[in-house]
């Protein structure tokens, strides 16, 4: 039957109710969200962080294709003709890369010679479903992170680099777990010991169904999830305080105008809105004679 799954919005201010009031209309493209957005949703699980990464990813994508369209959403930008043209070379070269490996159960993606993500699945059928979408995502990453033209062309990482990541033991305890429902569980743990000066490190994400592993993923994230979450919460609180202060300032600016309106309603002869008290008395005295 239907299952509830956690989801995040990647198009702020674009939610619209459907006919039943319980649905929304959206733009669903083939690829997954940008990797920074996927990492924010899976590792930090915070809607505001997701939106922040969406804005950054869109700005980076717009710069990479040489446009400054402020009206399109990230999804619309990803579906544009310019992006399709820029990613086409990568997709053409790698779309058939998995065709000759019948026993394939996983894949690793690298950009500019550096491993970005590794996935392992129970069987080939899941690989067939996931690979085209991940390839779309990393083709986007490739145009958003162009190689330095003044440096030698980056080489593909050696298989040993991927093997070392797969064989690395989880250094820390599970940092976050989520019971999606009674059958599905997600565990996130650091897969590397952070070194001084590191800006990111790999995390191992284990998805289980009925107690059995169905997906192992190694993905890059902040050095400390706890510190990143605290920093994002602090930034959100500061943003909320700023919004509140702006609202209070707007209210204070309106108060003098409201006071003037009240004076007019109480009989102040401003702009001829109300007659003076003396004029009101004269009208009352002449009213019986008019009858």
Q: How far apart (Å, rounded) are the C-alpha atoms in residues 32 and 52?
A: 17
Burial of residue 111 (CB within 10 Å: 0-12, 13-18, 19+) is buried
pLDDT tens-digit map of 22-42: 554 444 444 566 777 787 778
Top pLDDT among 135 and 83 is at: 135
Q: Which residues pair with 108 in a beta bridge?
A: 118
pLDDT tens-digit map of 145-186: 887 778 888 888 899 988 988 887 766 577 788 888 888 999
Q: How far apart (Å, rounded) are the C-alpha atoms in residues 37 and 159?
A: 27
Q: Give pTM, 2 decimals.
A: 0.66
DSSP 41: I
pLDDT tens-digit map of 236-285: 677 778 878 888 888 888 876 555 555 555 555 444 445 455 555 555 55
């Amino acid at each position: 039957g239907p299952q509830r799954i956690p989801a995040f919005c990647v198009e702020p201010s674009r939610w619209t109710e459907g006919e039943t009031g319980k649905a929304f209309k959206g733009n669903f493209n083939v690829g997954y969200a940008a990797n920074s957005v996927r990492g924010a949703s899976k590792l930090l699980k915070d809607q505001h962080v997701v939106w922040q990464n969406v804005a950054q990813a869109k700005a980076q994508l717009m710069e990479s294709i040489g446009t400054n369209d402020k009206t399109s959403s990230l999804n619309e930008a990803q579906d544009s003709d310019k992006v399709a043209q820029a990613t086409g070379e990568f997709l053409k070269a790698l779309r058939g890369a998995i065709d000759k490996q019948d026993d394939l159960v996983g894949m690793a993606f690298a950009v500019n010679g550096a491993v970005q993500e590794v996935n392992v699945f129970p069987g080939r059928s899941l690989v067939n479903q996931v690979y085209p979408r991940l390839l779309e995502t990393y083709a986007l990453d490739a145009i958003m992170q162009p190689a330095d033209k003044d440096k030698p062309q980056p080489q593909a990482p050696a298989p040993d680099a991927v093997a070392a990541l797969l064989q690395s033991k989880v250094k820390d305890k599970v940092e976050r777990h989520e019971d999606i429902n009674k059958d599905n569980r997600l565990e996130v743990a650091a897969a590397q010991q952070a070194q001084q000066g590191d800006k990111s490190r790999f995390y191992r994400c284990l998805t289980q169904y009925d107690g059995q592993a169905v997906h192992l993923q190694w993905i890059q994230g902040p050095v400390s999830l706890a510190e990143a979450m605290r920093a994002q919460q602090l930034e959100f609180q500061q943003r909320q305080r700023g919004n509140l202060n702006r609202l209070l300032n707007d209210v204070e600016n309106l108060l003098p105008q409201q006071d003037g309106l009240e004076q007019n309603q109480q009989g102040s002869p401003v702009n001829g809105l109300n007659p003076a008290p003396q004029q009101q008395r004269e009208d009352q005295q002449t009213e019986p004679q008019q009858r």
